[in-house]
A and B are shown apart, each in its own frame.
Chain A
Amino acid sequence: MKIVIVDYGMGNIKSVTSALKYLRVDDILLSNDIVDLKSADKLILPGVGSFAKAMGNIKKLNLDEVLKTIVLEDKKPILGICLGMQLMATASEEDGFTKGLNFITASINKFNIENLKVPHVGFNQVTFHQNSKLYEGLKDQSDFYFTHSFQMQSKQNINQSTCNYGNDFIVSYEIDNIAGVQFHPELSQTNGLKLLENFIKNF
């Protein structure tokens, strides 16, 4: 199993790598080289930081075009984590308005509720989408670790799972080869390891 973590200069790679090693993935590579990305069995799009800056980096490396080919045409499985999950959406209102990769139809908005502490930090319970491949074998309302200031909304059916903090918002989607999770599976103890294992096995 070869998993390539997409490198665009943002994100804590160590914990993702160490979780994949723990799950006995034998070939883990951090790269933005098209040859490496094409040779992967699966991709992980990590990310911490600002949406606009991340998209800037991705465009500079021409990764938006590369990922479009590999994900939309070659149908290679990809898992976006945290900001990586948001980047595959249509657009974000972080720092004004920034277009995303637009692999799924969704928008990224601020938490906009009075007296709500932002960022949303800590373990929170997830309401699973029925027949989800990501949460296979996990109990509905399992806890996952979140840390983010912007949330995903969508009017489309993207097989979303949700969480409530001030309001309901989307914490994961899974359409064909494309999956994303707002929380950090690599920081969510056994629940998160199980989810990563499911991505490796089911996508």
Chain B
Amino acid sequence: MLRKRIIFTLIYENGFFNQSRNFRLQKVGNLRWLEKNYKFQDIAFSLDELIVLNASKNDKNIADFARILNKLVDDVFIPIAAGGGIRSLGDAKMLFDNGADKIVLNTILHTNKNLVQQLVSKYGSQSIVASIDYKANDDNISIYIKNGTEELDIGLEQYIKDIEDLKVGEVYLNSIDKDGTGFGYEFGAINKISKSINVPLIIAGGAGNEQHLITGLEDTNISAVATANLFNFIGDGLPNARKKILEKNINVASWN
């Protein structure tokens, strides 16, 4: 049976990994800090996938980001998706060459569909994750690009159709309002689209404990749950969460 996935998302900005809250970043530590407090080579055994996002705002220095990525993923034998600031074929190539198995696209899904199509044709649909940032206000859902700074005048359902037409492989749906709060996922938008979406859906934004992850994993229309919460899952947080999830017989992979 196809398993559900638990994904950890790391937010990188100018040399540091960050705790994001409603898209405001708080520096937590550099690569050395991360290795000391998270021991990724060990932690990776509690994860199905790792997503690393470059949120550097002014100068999106992909080369520096790629170098960090390269070091981070050594001896980590799970799929790695990386993105943030991809604006050319060369940017994407640099991430693939430095350990990314997939790339995460956001802004160019709206501003440069031609490039998205080129990337899909070169690397295949299964290598492309489409990230959507949104805010939910009652029934009204607004989509944002450029690190959550620019609102689009397009509905969520239509936007999903548009990006499915570009043949992306997966959708990463991230709630800006719930981001980093630890209050649980925002199911308003998720429930609106989860039945009709044709590609695997990853939900993000708000998970603060394993119960939140379980709520997502138990939804048949959701393929994967993500958390970027460095504080809530520090130390043994992730291994313990996975252990509890496995004990509840939730459909996630186990390794010998």
Contacts and interface: CB of A to CB of B under 8 A. Distances in A.
Q: Do A and B come from one complex?
A: yes
B126 A121 contact: yes
Interface string B243-256: 00000000011111
A187 B79 contact: yes
Contacts, number: 118
Main secondary structure of the interface of A (DSSP, over half): mixed
Contacts of B161: none
A19 interface: yes
A171 to B, nearest CB: 12
B255 A191 contact: yes
Contact of A18 (B74, B121, B124): B74
B127 A122 contact: no
A139 B2 contact: no
A34 interface: no
Given A14-B97, A119-B125, A189 B3 contact: no
Interface in B68-96: 70, 73-75, 77-80, 96
Nearest to A163: B2
A147 interface: yes
Contacts of B224: 122
Nearest to B102: A147
Contact of B78 (A119, A125, A189): A189
B256 A190 contact: yes
A148 B2 CA distance: 13
Contacts of A123: 2-3, 5, 48, 252-253
Contact of A120 (B2, B98, B100, B121): B2
Interface string A143-184: 101011100000000000000110000000000000000001
A67 B48 CA distance: 34
Given A147-B169, A164-B1, A193-B77, A121 B256 contact: no
Contact of A122 (B48, B80, B101): B48
A83 B224 CA distance: 24
Nearest to A190: B255
Nearest to B2: A124
Contact of A149 (B77, B80, B124): B124
Given A123-B5, A148-B126, 6 more contacts: A15-B99, A18-B74, A117-B199, A117-B200, A121-B200, A187-B77
6 contacts: A14-B98, A18-B73, A123-B3, A145-B48, A187-B79, A187-B101
Interface of B: 1-5, 44-45, 48, 70, 73-75, 77-80, 96-102, 121-127, 169-170, 197-200, 223-224, 252-256
